[in-house]
Amino acid sequence: MNSDQIIETPKQQAYSLVHVENPGANITQTHFNGSNYDEWSRGFYLGLLAKGKLGYIDGTVSKPAATSNYFESWRSTNALVTAWIFNSIETTPRKTISLRPEAKQVWLDIKNRFCQNNDARLYQLQAELIACRQAPTESLMAYYGRLTKLWDDILEIDALPSCSCTSCPCDWVCIIDARCDKKRVRDFLIGLDDRFDNARSQILGTNPLPGLDFVYNRLLQEEGVRSLT
């Protein structure tokens, strides 16, 4: 082997810019406005994960020494990730965020200032879920989308219990999933607009209560028929 050859480790490979990236690229379609930290951070996290640069905010890619052959590559990529963070933040909150030397420091600064503690956030989400109602002119798809986002946000904070037993005879996971699905059906039906009263009564009169996918499809057909007549 040539003594001049350098074999990169996986961490060293992360220092390199393999593809030409645009500092003005949109990593996430959701821009941070000061009050949507959870939604924005999830989108940005996935965007960096897809580009192979997540290590610049989670700390797994460390800053090399200034004398390292990888320092300039790290500095360029670090600046790129920092630019992506700032470009995904709206003007008003961006003015309050300090420019730090490392993307990880900028990310943690935003998290420490805007991320709510779990109990407060869970309370807020559950209150929004209780109050979630379909507007008279709102489509079923739009209403269902709002509910789905609330369910996902709640599940991320308050995950369902799981069973780690091997070949568990109680089938605990299926039981919990079934109960969660029934609760979501009730949430969905409670907030429906009055124009779905008849269909809602028919579904509630079914024993056992159908699953969420079936209920959504049934009401979607009802909405389709109404739009034709």
Q: What are the sequence ranges of the domains in the chain?
A: 10-114, 124-228
Compute CA distances 200 → 172, 189, 217, whole Å: 30, 6, 13
> Considering just the CA atoms, what is the radius of gyration of the chain in Å?
24
Give the span between the Cα atoms of 217 and 120, in whole angstroms: 34
CA 155 – CA 159 distance, rounded (Å): 5
Q: Is 104 left (phi over 0), alpha (psi -120 to 50) or beta?
A: alpha
C-beta separation of 179 from 208 below 8 A: no
Could you tell me the two tokens for 167?
Answer: 């070949």
Q: Determine the residue type at 11.
A: K
pLDDT, tens only, 49-81: 988 889 999 988 888 888 988 888 899 899 999
Residue 199 tokens read as: 């269909």
Contact status, residue 74 vs residue 63, Cβ threshold 8 Å: yes
Judge contact between 88 and 26, C-beta under 8 A: yes
- Nearest 5°: phi and psi at 32? -75, 125
CA quadruple 197, 201, 183, 214: dihedral sign: negative
Which of the four pLDDT bands, split at 50, 70 and 90, describes residue 6? Answer: very low
Residue type, 120: A
Contact 23, 53 (CB under 8 A): no
> What are the tens digits of pLDDT across the range 142-184?
999 999 999 988 888 887 776 666 666 667 778 888 899 999 9
Task: Write down the pLDDT at residue 2.
Answer: 46
pLDDT at residue 205, rounded to an integer: 93
Tokens of 213: 């996918």
Start-to-end CA distance of the chain, whole Å, equals: 77
Other Cβ atoms within 10 Å of 143 Cβ, number: 19
Task: Work out the percent of the chain whose per-residue pLDDT is above 90.
Answer: 49
DSSP state of 166: T
